Each structure stands twice: as C-alpha cells, then as structure tokens.
Structure 1
Amino acid sequence: MLSVKKNTYATFKVINGDIQLKLGVFGILFLLLVGILSPILAPLDPYHYGQDILNGLGVNGHLLGTNHLGQDVFSMIIYGVRTSLMVAVISALISAVLGILIGGIAGYFGGKLDLIVSECINAFMMVPTFFLILLVIALFDNSITNVMIVIGLTTWPSNAKLIRAQALSLRERTFVKSAITMGESKTQILFKYIIPNGIFPVLANTTIGMSNAILTEAGLSFLGLGDPNVISWGQMIFMGKQYITSAWWIATFAGVAIVLTVTVFYLLGDGLNHVLNPKHSNGKGGE
C-alpha cells in the first residue's frame, strides 16, 4: 500500500513537472516573440519624451498611460522584455560556463585542486551576492553590460557545486573507467563523458538562475544603480515610485511584468528539474 502511494505521488510529480515545463516553454516562446517584434508591437518610441505627461490609461491613445516624462508606458513594457531576456540569458550563460568548468575540473581531478575549489565555492556562497553586486556596480560603471557580467561572475558557485557532485559520481562509473583503460586523456574524458552526462541538473538550475538575474537587475535599477540609457522594468518602478499615489500605472505594470516573467522562468526551471531528475522519471520519487 505504501509503495502504491509513493508511486502515485511520483507519477503526480512527473505530470505536474510536465505541465510546468510546457507552461514555461510556451511562456518563454511568447517572451522571445515579444522581444523580437518589439519595434512592431510598441505603438510609440519608448525613448521619446512627449507632451502628454502622466496621462491615465487610454488617454490620448496611450493604452497604459504615460510617465512624468511623457513616455508611453506600454511601449516601455514591450521594450523591457528585451532587456530582461538579455540580462537573463547572458548572465546565466556566464554563470553556467564558469560553474561547469570549475566544478567539473574540481570534481573529476579531485585531490588538492578539489579541496581548494570547494573552499572557494563555500567562501563565495557565504558572501551575500546582492551586496557584492551592489559594491561592484557602485565602484565601476553601471552599464547594462557590466550588470550582466557581474551577475554572472557572482552566481556560478551553485552550478559548480552541482556539476562537482555529478563529476565525483561519474568518475567511478564503468564507462569512464573503460575510457581511461583505452588511453583517453583526462581532458578528453572530462569534456566527452563527465560534463555531457552531468550537465542536466545545471540546466535546470541555470534556468531558475535566469529569474534571479532578472530580479537582481530590477533590484539594482530600483535602487538607481541600473543603466539609465536602457529601458528596464526595474527602472520604471524606480521612476514611478514617487508617483505611486497619483500615477500608479507607471510602477504597477512594470512590477506585474517582472512577476510574470520570473514565474515563467521558474516554471521552466522547475519543470526541467522534474523531467530530467531520474528519481522522478523512473517512478521512484520520494523513496
């Protein structure tokens, strides 16, 4: 009876994971489509400062109103998709590449190298990431490029821990031992067998990391440390907070866009985690 309950729970988790994955994929495709078609979908240039200041919803053809500079809020929301996707993808890519290389090398080669890397990972994970990013951005230029690089350089430890754990397990597998016997070098084994077979948890974690990157960029922009030359939702909230009682639409719709986008990335990441996790796919989850 207990086994039946466990299998039923595992089956439900897989189904739930499949639904989350589909919702996440459809959501990402929608965001990509909006980002690509931004010049067509946006009715006005979001960088244009018009005469219609603080117009309400639908006034003078502005669907979501205007801000204190006369910019069309709906057009800014549309162009903000581009910024959020760019930050999410590039920063997560930097984090994933660094984490996979560092964690894979440490886990497979082991020894003193693994000990040193593990201590570095622990040290990085003890430091509050957001405050470290704040410090770096405050000291250097706050361009969107720097923001993406800093986010990527400060979020790799979680990926490194995942791939290191996979490498420690995979290096003891029969096919890796066979490759060693056949004379393949350690570098060849690392890139042909260890990383390709251990990358799946990193993929799920990286996808969820994209949502964190969007929140981090929005947080920096909200604090006034974002790139003023780029349209972003966090920047819209920063500009609209002083008008929240008289022109609530400036910050509100940007906040809703952030929530929905982060939810899409979370659904995709959580769905990937359930689908790629062998404990769920073989119906033994929870044992």
Structure 2
Amino acid sequence: MVTTKKGWYVGRKNNNKLNRTLLKVKSDTELKFGLIGLSLLVFVAVFASLLVPFDPYFFGPDVLNKLGENQHILGTNHLGQDIFSMILYGVRTSLMVAVGSALISAVIGILVGGIAGYFGGKIDLVITECINAFMMVPTFFLILLIIALFDSSITNVMIVIGLTTWPSNAKLIRAQALSIRERTYVKSAVAMGETNLQILFKYIIPNGIFPVLANTTIGMSNAILTEAGLSFLGLGDPNVISWGQMIFMGKQYLTSAWWISTFAGIAIVFTVTVFYLLGDGLNHVLDPKHKSRKDA
C-alpha cells in the first residue's frame, strides 16, 4: 500500500513537471515564433522543386529583369537566373550546412565534455586546456585557411564548421557532468557495479544535454552566417546555390539591379533570426530557473 502511494506521488510529480514544461512552451513567444519559422523553412526546403516557377540553374535570356517582369517575381540576375527560385533553393543549402555542422559540433562537444566532466582529475585538466586552446584560435580565419587549402565543397564546409565550433558545447556538458556525477543516482549506479561507459551514456549525457540543445540551435544560425560569408568571399561551393554567393554576384549591380543581393540578404536575416528565437526559446523552456509569466 505504501509502495502504491509512493508510486502515485512520483507519477503525479512527473506529470506536474511535464505540465510545467508544456506551459512554458505555450507561453514562450520566442519559441513559438521559432517553431513556426522553422516549419516554414523545412517545408520550403522539402518542396522547393515544386514551388519554384523556373529552374534556378537555368541561364535564360531574361537578363536583369525587374521585379514581376516576364513572370519573374523577384526579377533575374545578370545570367538570367530567376531570383525567387534561387532563394527557395538556397533554403536547402542553408539548412544542410546548419544541421550537418551542428550535428558534428554537438557529437564531438558532448563526448569530449562529458568525458572531461565525469572522469575529472588529469583527464579533465588536459581536455580543458585543449578546449581553451581551440577557443583562443580565431575560428573564421581558421575556416578560411582550411577551405582555401582544400576543396570548397558543401560537405567540406559543414565538416570544417563543425570541427571548429565544438568547444562551446564541450564546456557546457562538462559543467553539467561535474554536477551530475555527484548525484545520488550516479553514486548508486557506481556502487551497483555499472561501468564508466554505461554511467556516461545512461546518466551523465542524457541528463546534461539540455543546455547543449539550446546552444546547438543558436550554433546553427552561426553556421549559416559562416557559410554565407565564405560564399561571399568566393570560397563557397560553386555547384550549389547559396545566398552568400548571390550577394557576391549581385554586389556589382547594387545600383542597377539591387534585388539580386537584397532578397538573398533578407533570407539570411530571416533564417538566422528563426534559429536565434528557437535557441533562446529552448533555453527558457529547459532552464529550471526561468519562470513563465503564468508561473510568476
């Protein structure tokens, strides 16, 4: 009978915690707008081939058409490519870079930071110094150097961004691991004979990953900006359509054909804002210290 009451109490406590989390999701405006914007971007990326009125890779005779001229909603560039179609296809490139680089950064950061925080001692000292060394290196210039030396394909861009942005995730998960390893359930798992690998992947990482999720989402926006910057400098993948590449091609026509660069820049601003809202909203929801307006 006591066990039943205890189980009922624990279940009710977990339900209350879930309800509070759902309440935060509903009341957090930033997260709601971020989710709406992300849904729109994903929809466009998936159905871009059906939404475009023209082939974005086609060099047509309609050169530097103005907005709405010859059925080109946002005009054309100096090569006759439809700007609206290029914008929609650019969503795929941006999301590919954001997700790919974020996954690489998150996986490396979680593993390195989790190991450092859980084992501590000399292992933590060595890994922490490595993290600090990576954080002191100017990331963008390192990316420029690597891309200039190797192939500038979209895959290499994702890998390089991911390999240079993991330290922030590592520091977050390390701080979580230092706290979680002192919890009662972790010490009980050690006493029961569970291996360090089991404890790391069953208790440390799953319970400390939430700040990394919010940070990774914000990191996606930085990855999009980095890819756009590389493309603007002529170091992007020439075989894919990129908003940064569009801005680069249109900068010489700013006075006569402003629409080439302008709408690509607006697309970058919109996408980056969506990921920032999503990351900030996740941080509010997952942070136990943050209170929603209804809780206050």
Between the aligned partners of 1:218 and 1:89, the Cα distance in structure 2 is 15
Between the aligned partners of 1:114 and 1:16, the Cα distance in structure 2 is 39
Describe the SS at the equivalent of 1:44.
coil
Which segments of 5 or more consecutive residues in structure 1 lack a partner in the other structure?
A: 1-13
Deviation at 1:68, TM superposition (A): 0.5
Deviation at 1:101, TM superposition (A): 0.3
Describe the SS at the equivalent of 1:278.
coil
Between the aligned partners of 1:40 and 1:110, the Cα distance in structure 2 is 53
1:262 aligns with 2:260: no
Q: Go from structure 1 to structure 2 and tell me whether the alpha carbon gap of 1:104 and 1:131 turns closer, same or farther (over 3 Å shift).
A: same
- Equivalent residue, structure 2, for 1:8: none
Say whether the 8 Å CA contact 2:109–2:166 is kept in structure 1. Answer: yes
Between the aligned partners of 2:202 and 2:40, the Cα distance in structure 1 is 34
Deviation at 1:111, TM superposition (A): 1.2
Say whether the 8 Å CA contact 2:27–2:292 is kept in structure 1. Answer: no
2:182 aligned partner, one-letter code:
E
1:139 aligns with 2:149: yes
Query: What number of residue pairs does the alignment pair up?
Result: 272
- Equivalent residue, structure 1, for 2:19: none
- Equivalent residue, structure 2, for 1:243: 253
2:272 aligned partner, one-letter code:
V
1:22-66 CA-to-partner distances (Å, cap 9, x unmatched) read: 111111011000000101110010000000111100000100000
- Equivalent residue, structure 2, for 1:35: 45
Say whether the 8 Å CA contact 2:25–2:32 is kept in structure 1. Answer: no
- Equivalent residue, structure 1, for 2:228: 218
1:89 aligned partner, one-letter code:
V
Candidates 54, 71, 81, aligned match of 1:71:
81
Spell out the pairing of 1:162-177 with structure 2 (5 A cutoff). 162-177=172-187
Say whether the 8 Å CA contact 1:17–1:272 is kept in structure 2. Answer: no
Spell out the pairing of 1:172-211 with structure 2 (5 A cutoff). 172-211=182-221
Between the aligned partners of 2:26 and 2:188, the Cα distance in structure 1 is 38
- Equivalent residue, structure 2, for 1:93: 103
- Equivalent residue, structure 2, for 1:227: 237
Deviation at 1:105, TM superposition (A): 0.5
Deviation at 1:155, TM superposition (A): 0.2
2:263 aligned partner, one-letter code:
F
Between the aligned partners of 1:112 and 1:282, the Cα distance in structure 2 is 41
1:91-149 CA-to-partner distances (Å, cap 9, x unmatched) read: 00000000000000111011111111100100111111101100000010001110000
Describe the SS at the equivalent of 1:57.
coil
Say whether the 8 Å CA contact 2:189–2:199 is kept in structure 1. Answer: yes
Spell out the pairing of 1:116-135 with structure 2 (5 A cutoff). 116-135=126-145
Say whether the 8 Å CA contact 1:89–1:210 is kept in structure 2. Answer: yes
Between the aligned partners of 1:141 and 1:242, the Cα distance in structure 2 is 26
- Equivalent residue, structure 1, for 2:21: none
Deviation at 1:203, TM superposition (A): 0.1
Say whether the 8 Å CA contact 1:84–1:214 is kept in structure 2. Answer: yes
Describe the SS at the equivalent of 1:228.
coil
Describe the SS at the equivalent of 1:124.
helix
Between the aligned partners of 1:281 and 1:178, the Cα distance in structure 2 is 32
Between the aligned partners of 2:38 and 2:180, the Cα distance in structure 1 is 32
Say whether the 8 Å CA contact 1:83–1:232 is kept in structure 2. Answer: yes
Between the aligned partners of 1:269 and 1:84, the Cα distance in structure 2 is 17
Q: Could you tell me the TM-score, scaled by structure 2's length?
A: 0.90
Between the aligned partners of 2:155 and 2:204, the Cα distance in structure 1 is 32
1:55 aligns with 2:65: yes
- Equivalent residue, structure 1, for 2:285: 275
Say whether the 8 Å CA contact 1:224–1:235 is kept in structure 2. Answer: yes
Between the aligned partners of 1:120 and 1:243, the Cα distance in structure 2 is 45
Say whether the 8 Å CA contact 2:25–2:31 is kept in structure 1. Answer: no
Superposed CA RMSD in Å reads: 1.6
Say whether the 8 Å CA contact 2:26–2:32 is kept in structure 1. Answer: no
1:78 aligned partner, one-letter code:
L
Between the aligned partners of 2:217 and 2:76, the Cα distance in structure 1 is 33
1:84 aligned partner, one-letter code:
S
